[in-house]
Structure 1
Amino acid sequence: MKKICLFFGSFNPIHIGHLILANYIIENTDMDELWFVVSPQNPFKDKKSLLKDHNRLDMVQLAVKNYPKLRASNVEFSLPIPSYTIDTLTYLHEKYPEYSFSLIMGEDNLNGLSKWKNAEVLVKNHQIIVYPRVFEETNKQYQYVDHENVSVIKAPIIELSATEIRAMIKEGKNVRPMLPPEVFEYLDGSNFYK
């Protein structure tokens, strides 16, 4: 059975931190592929700063083209909005019964996992790979951290944020080192985030 790891996000824009993390997971776990699932709308995020879905998908496709085990996925584009992870997983299991799907999430998301739609089902039926994040959290008592399907990995911590990158672009600052070269070229020739 092919093992697919799902990395959900708005990727607004995808940056080198995302690629470093994805590559680390592919090289240090038993996953066969990692799919960047471009989310049309995260129920917990404001939509006004989001680039159009197809622009964000284009950037992810450009970013992963030289990584044979990384893919861009638009699976959520055809699903009801807002997108809930459990609904996407149900759809993927029906469409690809020969694959097993795991999730990756930041340590900060693990803290709020109990608020997710059908969190118990999610954790019971899927492996969750948790990567470290730097964030202010006084009470690191995660509900699912000891669950057999949750594994915390020692991935490198890359303190880059798409929000910060968008702000720098708006201010006319150089963001070239923070983006995959193809994504930088794509944005450089546009008015995106300006």
Structure 2
Amino acid sequence: MKVALFFGSFNPIHMGHLMLADFVRQNTEVDQLWFVLSPQNPHKKQANLLDDYTRLEMVNLAIEDDDNLRVSDIEFSLPKPSYTAITLAYLKEKYPSYSFYLTLGEDNLNTLHKWHKSDEIIKHHPIIYYPRHTDNQKEKSNEFLAKAHLIRCEAPRIEISSSFIRKQISEGKECRYMLPDKVYSFLKDSNFYR
């Protein structure tokens, strides 16, 4: 089983996440894509971050009808902050017959060499990367990336972000078409992000 891992806070999960996940799964060699829900990203502030299990429920609502997409709460039981290398090692131990691929935006390739145990990541895990709009595209660390198994996935660029959706909701604006129907209903029935 080849599994692409898509790490994120998914605060909230939106149509951009789902379109990217489906595109990666259909246009690369992987069999499934797992959303790995991160309780605390060491590179992001935790302001406005909903409870772990609330975000997990939203991802489950978003993908419950698709057998090719899964969600993993594996990082909930790992030390905080969450480091990708530790999560990958734990998943490999739990599922020894699976091959895990890392899914990243192209801009993340620029800083991958600074990640915790980055050499271990690229040694054991292919990296699927997709184009991402960025104003300051820096030179990639070619020497480091030359050792990686990189797979470019020409996914369409979708300019939707969770932070934009949170801002829209906080301002009382509508974002129905940016969210999966069940997630939209879930958020509408709650006071989250308001």
- TM-score bracket for this pair, using the shorter chain length: over 0.9
Is the CA contact 2:113–2:141 (under 8 Å) kept in the aligned structure 1? no
AA aligned opposite 2:111: G
In the TM superposition, residue 178 of structure 1 has moved relative to its aligned partner by 0.3
Partner of 2:157: 157
Give 1:147 shift.
4.0
Q: Aligned residue for 1:52?
A: 51
Q: CA deviation at 1:98?
A: 1.3
Amino acid at match of 2:34: W
Give the aligned residue type for 2:61: L
Matched ranges for 1:57-72 at <5 A: 57-72=56-71
**CA distance change for structure 1 residues 120 and 193 in 2, over 3 Å: closer, same or farther?**
same
Q: How far off its partner does 1:145 sit?
A: 4.5
Q: Counterparts of 1:69-84 in structure 2 under 5 Å?
A: 69-84=68-83
The answer as to whether partners of 2:130 and 2:152 remain within 8 angstroms in 1 is yes
Aligned to 2:9: 10
The correspondence of residues 71-150 of structure 1 with structure 2, limited to 5 A, is 71-143=70-142, 144-150=144-150
| C-alpha distance after superposition, 1:50-75 (max 9, x if no partner) | 00000100000010112110001101
Cα distance, 1:149 vs structure 2: 0.6
The alignment partner of 1:30 has SS state of: coil
The whole-number CA distance in structure 2 between the counterparts of 1:138 and 1:24 is 23
Instruction: Give the Å deviation of 1:146.
Output: 4.0
Mean Cα displacement is larger for which, 139-148 or 176-185?
A: 139-148
Q: Matches of 1:110 and 1:94 in 2, distance apart?
A: 26
Structure 1, 148-157 or 184-193: larger mean CA deviation: 148-157
Q: Which runs of 5+ in 1 are unaligned?
A: none
How many matched pairs?
193
Separation in 2, partners of 1:91, 1:141: 28
Distance 1:159 1:142, change over 3 A: farther
Distance in 1 (alpha carbons) for counterparts of 2:10 and 2:44: 12
The two structures have a TM-score, normalised by structure 1, of 0.96
CA pair 100-160 structure 1, distance change in 2 beyond 3 A: same
Identity %: 51
Letter in structure 1 aligned against 2:162: A
Deviations 1:108-165 (A, max 9, x none): 1111111100111111110000011001124333435444511221111001110010
TM-score norm. by structure 2 comes to 0.96
Q: Is the 8 A contact 2:102 2:128 kept in 1?
A: yes
- For 2:6 and 2:55, the matched residues in 1 are separated by 14
User: What secondary structure sits across from 1:183 in the alignment?
Assistant: helix
Please tell me the root mean square deviation across aligned C-alpha atoms, in Å.
Answer: 1.1
